[in-house]
Amino acid sequence: MRVGAVDCGTNSIRLLIAEPSADGRLRDVHREMRIVRLGQGVDATGEFAPEALARTESALSDYVDLMREHGVGGVRMVATSAARDAGNRDEFFAMTARLLGSVAPGAVAEVITGTEEAQLSFRGAVGELDAGAAPFVVVDLGGGSTELVLGTDAGVTAAFSADIGCVRIKERCLHSDPPTAAEIDAARAVVRERLAEALSVVEVGAAHTWVGVAGTFTTLAALAHRLPVYDPAAIHLSRTGFSDLLAVCADLLEMTAEQRLALGPMHEGRADVIPGGAIIVQELTRVLAERAGLGELVVSEHDILDGIALSIA
């Protein structure tokens, strides 16, 4: 049975249609991502903006059409950070129930906990990695939250969802274009405070391999490898040394959104928010170098979306 997995985050909504194989892995039938910025303003207002809901509904409607076209039988949609925080989330859930129900009666978006989000991300991220490279610390850097997960091929040993992400940091701290030194310092203080709580739960010093998933990491890797355009096949399981990673982060913080948008691998919906993600990555790089002695980042194109699909396959 083909399955349809939808991951609706603060910044993007993504679809994976896949077929389970005999070895327990998935074969991609269709994979797609759109920037809808569902979390626009949620940090400040506590509610979804009408235009953000409309963008998300339009994208999900197209995804539902694709699932019907490809004969999907099982559907699971997961909504993460923004949907946990919004006061008018009932409007969002009614919309998802109406659309998803046309594929699988009774299907509706689930708001999962940060721990559940971390576990799904870990399962999707490490499935193709050599078990001998464990323990892995998987970091899923989203728009509204960042999940840190430590584990092996046997499963998760510790996880924490930190209340920081590229959209949330931009809206809270980075108001200039490019951000000022004072704004960057303020953002870095917020990131360090939130990461300190996460690092008290997730002992990253035990990690042998750092795996980054989601759009900030994949974009940074593409820029570090000097790709002219974004190429998922070239990025999946690629390795980036910390010096190259930090150089890209520093460059992005000095650019305007227009300059970032002109970079070949940069998605138009990420150019204005990636500085917040770059600051989070800078701080994680420092911590993992100091505590675990690591010197490179492995980037996986497979993440929570694959974990969602595996959970219903």
β-bridge pairing 146-152 and 155-162: antiparallel
Q: Spell out the domains of the chain, with CATH numbers in brackets.
A: 3-111 (3.30.420.40), 129-304 (3.30.420.150)
Euclidean distance between CA atoms 127 and 291, whole angstroms: 25
Closest C-alpha to 309, from 91, 74, 93: 74
Question: Which pLDDT score is estimated for 198?
Answer: 94
For 34-52, the pLDDT digits (tens) are 989 888 888 788 899 999 9
User: Which CA distances in Å does 4 have to 104, 302, 306?
Assistant: 10, 15, 10
Q: Which helix (H) or strand (E) holds 138?
A: strand 136-141
Question: Which pLDDT score is estimated for 113?
Answer: 79
Determine the 3-state secondary structure of 159 from DSSP: strand
Ramachandran area for residue 109 (φ above 0: left; ψ -120 to 50: alpha; else beta): beta
CB count in 10 Å sphere of residue 261: 15
Local confidence pLDDT in tens for the 313 residues of the chain = 899 999 998 888 999 999 988 777 788 999 999 989 888 888 788 899 999 999 999 999 999 999 999 999 999 999 876 677 788 888 999 999 999 999 998 898 998 877 787 788 888 899 889 889 999 999 999 888 898 999 998 889 999 989 899 989 999 999 999 999 999 999 999 999 999 999 999 999 999 999 999 889 999 999 999 999 999 999 999 999 999 999 999 999 999 999 999 999 998 889 999 999 999 999 999 999 999 999 999 999 988 899 999 898 7
The runs of H, that is alpha helices, within the chain are: 42-45, 50-69, 81-85, 89-100, 114-126, 166-172, 181-201, 215-224, 232-235, 242-254, 257-261, 274-292, 304-312
User: Which CA distances in Å does 96 have to 53, 78, 179, 304?
Assistant: 11, 11, 36, 19
Determine the 3-state secondary structure of 132 from DSSP: helix
Residue 296, exposed/middle/buried by CB under 10 A (0-12, 13-18, 19+)?
Answer: middle
Euclidean distance between CA atoms 52 and 42, whole angstroms: 10
Euclidean distance between CA atoms 121 and 45, whole angstroms: 28
CB count in 10 Å sphere of residue 77: 23
Question: Which pLDDT score is estimated for 81?
Answer: 62
